[in-house]
Structure 1
Amino acid sequence: MPSTDTPSTLADSPEQWPVEQREDLAAGGITTFRRDRVRTPAGSALVRDYILHSGSVAVLALDNEDNVLIITQYRHPVGRRLVELPAGLHDRRQRGEPPQEAAARELWEETDLRAEDWRVLADFYNSAGSSDEATRVFLARAVGKATGEMHVREEEEAHMEQLWVPFDELLQAVLDGRVTTAATVIGVLALAAARAQPGGVDALRPVDAPWPARPF
């Protein structure tokens, strides 16, 4: 029978196999396509192609009536208008912008909203076999209209639509497979799980919790 013992520390751990050769094959606006020749612990060589990415943040904004703010946005690679959480690149990380500030900026840019209460819902690698992209999903509460100058949305963002939906309806849409974007699925399921834990959402990690994938 397989062992059911739980490791003393159940966590991802750092490890780096030697890179013998590295080549950047192409670079775009937000990504670089890289090829590495890697030496395994057994001594064999592997060639791995993958994408470098700045990382992302997403926001599950929750109002006092337990509604979640979702946006719909056209995504050309999949040819669909997708239901998403407000989200965006953590592309100012190298300039010292913490993830929560990036999330607050994206919430404002995409929805004209701000929030007073922030927690970390979940961290994940989007597709660790082919990219180093990592995403942090925040829970934002005490949400209200931002004041001052509003952000001008252009290109695909100019065609976004936004809607407040009951959390239970969004959860069911995720479970039914009708809503499939990674940050939305993970954020919604993480919130449902957090509510079932002792302490509920108030026991979630603070906004400055360590994020090994994107140290800040």
Structure 2
Amino acid sequence: MVKYEFEDIPEHWPVLESRVLAEGGITDYREDLVRMVDGTKGRRQYTTHHGAVAVLALDEQDRMLTLRQYRHPVRLLMWELPAGLLDQPGEHPREAAERELFEEAYLVADDWRVLVDYRNSTGTSDEATRVFLAHGVREATGERYARTAEEAGIVAQWVPVSEMLGQVLAGRIGTSSIVAAVCALTAARAQPGGIDALRPADAPWPARPF
């Protein structure tokens, strides 16, 4: 039995043609003609995306901050983590996470770690998300960020992590960042070293190098 390295590894099939089918504010829709491993050719359509960060912010009572926001493609009011795009040139992922936590929740945190990285939908998009775990959360100072458009309807709620895990496993909460973050936090706490063994906030991120 062949034993493989249990790690995602870079690979690049030859791209014979490439064109943008449509351009959007957040994503572009692209089609590539690629030569596959058996030598045949195939067309692959996918969206390109800046990437994103999300924050699992914990308070002293082991509650996590969640935000309810309308998401038009699925026609749902969804509970999510504070999150946002990596669309500011030169901005470090942690800085983006700090910015989103401030703008969406008017909070800052003393301790930051990488909780989990994931690719959202590898068959249709190159989008990647990094979720940070934030401890030592407290109210920010200075002028509040003015929410507009879809963000004007955001509702915040602190929820015990154990309760949110139950909601995820029951299928009542389906936002990818919450599902990944709550399951990763639960698993990390069961590992030797617990959350202290998590990667530092500046850990390399091959999906979005910085």
- In the superposition, the TM-score normalised over structure 2's length comes to 0.98
- Aligned residue number for residue 203 of structure 2: 209
1:6/1:207 Cα in 2 relative to 1: closer, same or farther (>3 Å)? farther
- Aligned residue number for residue 111 of structure 1: 105
Please state how far the C-alpha of 1:41 moved relative to its aligned partner. Answer: 2.6
Identity %: 57
> Which residue of 9, 29, 52 maps to 1:13?
9
- Cα distance per residue 1:170-211 (max 9 Å; x no partner): 111011111100010000000000000010001000011111
3-state SS, counterpart of residue 211 of structure 1: coil
- Aligned residue number for residue 100 of structure 1: 94
Task: Say how many residue pairs are matched.
Answer: 210
Q: 1:11 and 1:99 mapped to 2: Cα distance?
A: 22
Which residues in structure 2 correspond to 1:76-95 (within 5 Å)?
76-92=72-88, 95=89
Unaligned stretches of 5+ in structure 1? none
Q: 1:40 and 1:82 mapped to 2: Cα distance?
A: 38
- Aligned residue number for residue 193 of structure 2: 199
- The list of structure 1 runs, each at least 4 consecutive aligned residues, that deviate by more than 2 angstroms after superposition, is none
- Aligned residue number for residue 124 of structure 2: 130
Please state how far the C-alpha of 1:42 moved relative to its aligned partner. Answer: 1.7
> Root-mean-square deviation (CA), in Å?
1.0
Please state how far the C-alpha of 1:23 moved relative to its aligned partner. Answer: 0.6
- In the superposition, the TM-score normalised over structure 1's length comes to 0.95
Residue 168 (1) aligns with residue 162 (2): yes
- Cα distance per residue 1:85-136 (max 9 Å; x no partner): 11110111xx211111101101111000011100101100000000000000
> Which residue of 32, 39, 58 maps to 1:36?
32
Residue 156 (1) aligns with residue 150 (2): yes
Unaligned stretches of 5+ in structure 2? none
3-state SS, counterpart of residue 16 of structure 1: coil
- Cα distance per residue 1:22-41 (max 9 Å; x no partner): 11011011110000000113
Residue 177 (1) aligns with residue 149 (2): no
> Which residue of 3, 21, 32 maps to 1:25?
21
